[in-house]
Amino acid sequence: MIKIERNRTKMPGRSSKKVSSMLTRGRKNFFKDGLITGSGIGEPSLYHALVVIFLEFFAWGLLTTPMITVLNETFPDHTFLMNGLIVGIKGLLSFLSAPLVGALSDVWGRKFFLVVTVFFTCAPIPLIHINTWWYFAMISISGVFAVTFSVVFAYVADVTDESERSAAYGLVSATFAASLVTSPALGAYLGRVYSETLVVAIATAVALLDVFFILVAVPESLPEKVRPSSWGAPISWEQADPFAALKKVGKDNTILMLCVTVFLSYLPEAGQYSCFFVYLKLVMGFSAEAVATFIAVVGVLSVFAQTAVLGLLMRTVGAKATILIGLVFEMLQLAWYGFGSQMWMMWSAGVLAAISSISYPAISAFVSMHADADKQGLVQGMITGVRGLCNGLGPALYGLIFYLFNVNLNDKDAVKVSHQSSHSNETTHIEDISLIRALPGPPFVFGSFLVVCALLVAFFIPEGPLGSTLKSNARSVQYTVGINSKLVVVRPDMFVTLRLSLWRSYF
């Protein structure tokens, strides 16, 4: 009798442990099997990724004019340099985090990281009129997760065949360009007719719509067998430490050369994006309407280049040759902008710039063709991280070069430039004017030299297997899963190669 009573007294404890264990497992699997990865409309497709990209960058495009206004009001004396510093911190954080986020998405799924990256990238938007200091701080901090392109490209790799992948990456980049064709002009119009507060509210609503769309409509693209059996699968610091895999990743020469190519080619492009429209207005004499028209025309041409032209080149000459062609056009457009002194030259260079936009989707397609299925997110994340680093260094580099050559980029000081001769040394002023006339855009000329270096590196990129040295000594157990009716081998050594890098040999 006593034994029975003891058993009865233990039963509630055992039952409590079972219930507690069930709750723990349920909490761990909520994100894996519940709302985050369990929902979605239809099968995973390219169109889900396109909507995510379009909404995110459309929201930020609306804020083009309000962002310039807030920068000028907050940092009236050092607007351009402070912009470079803020974006630089964001770019550095993106560089550090992009490979890790990309590789984790190879294990835990794309959808969860789509939610995280879009949410944190758009988090600063409502703060622009609430607290400007918090706004700029959040922009910098958001760089940790501002790597949507990395996850989106991995998502696209999951849902497309190798033969379709180059065209799919072109559509992603074209969608990014299309989102910026109308949104800056629309934001400027709404701000002028109504108020910038309305523009910020609309941008916030679009960002929230993007997050809601991912939660409700975007299905998980990563096959179930590729992911661990539990969301709570342990990941040690040794696996997640970004410095632990520096030596291992640095040994892969193909990835090294790809990332050096991206760095040398995207660094001047990032600097160009940061100041080009102000450059057209102050140095080239474009009106505000002409600048808006320029954005729209080049955006439309970029969409055409990244769809029709990219697909044609990929089918006829291959990925590597397409990369080289894109770099040649980038070198030409930068040199044309640097030496050009007439408006028609700027328009001609805009056509070259649109064609040069095929470079990055061609590089992404090259990676997808030569990387294993379980390393798509890892390699794409490293390349996106290099772009993030360039987004930080490029604006600061261009601002410094403009400063050294006495080219003023502050819109408020435009009148001062035209009257400078009456208040400064005449000889020095004449020398400065002569230099500006001979070389209106010195940073663009320097950028064209960097692209020449990128061309030399890209020419020697081998077309063999990509990331072969990233394999670990783990047991070579293989799982075969079906993606789009195509068998893809996925190895568990991906769990070991989570020890990612910011890659000491990037440059």
Q: For residues 371 and 466, is the Cβ–Cβ distance under 8 A?
A: yes
Phi and psi at 368, nearest 5°, equal -65, -30
pLDDT of 377: 66
* Number of Cβ within a 10 Å radius of residue 186: 16
pLDDT in tens, 4-63: 444 444 444 454 444 344 433 444 444 445 555 556 788 889 999 999 999 999 999 888
Q: What is the set of domains in the chain, with CATH numbers?
A: 40-222+242-414+423-495 (1.20.1250.20)
Task: Please give the share of the chain, as a percent, with pLDDT higher than 90.
Answer: 23
pTM for the structure as a whole: 0.67
Residue 240 CA to residue 108 CA, distance in Å, equals 14
Average pLDDT over residues 65-91: 76
pLDDT in tens, 429-457: 444 444 455 677 888 999 999 999 999 99
Residue 68 banded pLDDT, cuts 50, 70, 90: confident
pLDDT in tens, 113-147: 999 999 999 999 999 988 888 998 898 888 888 77
Token output for 257? 């050369």
Residues 6+ apart with CB under 8 A from 371: 378, 379, 466, 467
Res 163 pLDDT > 90:
no
Residue 275 CA to residue 450 CA, distance in Å, equals 18
Q: Which of 136-145, 191-200, 272-281 comes out lowest in average pLDDT? A: 272-281
pLDDT in tens, 281-300: 767 877 766 777 787 888 88
- Per the rule left: phi > 0, alpha: psi between -120 and 50, beta: everything else, 43 is beta
pLDDT of 228: 55
Average pLDDT over residues 212-223: 89
pLDDT of 218: 92
CB burial of 373-401 (b: ≥16 within 10 Å; e: otherwise) equals: bbbbbbbbbbbbbbbbbbbbbbbbbbbeb
Residue 420 banded pLDDT, cuts 50, 70, 90: very low
Angle in degrees, 0-180, between the axes of helices 148-159 and 79-108, rounded to the nearest 10: 30
pLDDT in tens, 295-350: 788 888 888 898 889 889 988 998 899 999 999 999 999 999 989 888 888 999 99
pLDDT of 116: 92
pLDDT of 468: 52
Average pLDDT over residues 230-244: 47
Residues 6+ apart with CB under 8 A from 246: 501, 502, 503, 504
Residue 246 CA to residue 61 CA, distance in Å, equals 36
Res 264 pLDDT > 50:
yes
CB burial of 221-251 (b: ≥16 within 10 Å; e: otherwise) equals: bbbeebbeeebeeeeeeebeebebbbebbbe
Residue 68 CA to residue 308 CA, distance in Å, equals 34
Res 486 pLDDT > 70:
no
Residues 6+ apart with CB under 8 A from 357: 173, 177, 302, 305, 306, 326
Residue 306 CA to residue 176 CA, distance in Å, equals 11
Q: Which of these, 210, 220, 168, lies nearest to 41 by C-alpha position?
A: 220
Res 374 pLDDT > 70:
no
pLDDT in tens, 242-260: 444 344 445 578 888 888 8
Q: For residues 374 and 490, is the Cβ–Cβ distance under 8 A?
A: yes
Res 234 pLDDT > 60:
no
The tally of CA atoms less than 13 A away on the side-chain side of residue 44 is 22
pLDDT of 475: 30
Whole-number average pLDDT of the chain: 73
Distances (CA, A) of 298 to 116, 284, 291, 447: 31, 17, 11, 19
Average pLDDT over residues 159-168: 84
Res 501 pLDDT > 70:
no
Q: Which of these, 223, 273, 288, lies nearest to 485 by C-alpha position?
A: 223
pLDDT of 467: 53
* Top-confidence residue, 343 or 478: 343
pLDDT of 122: 94
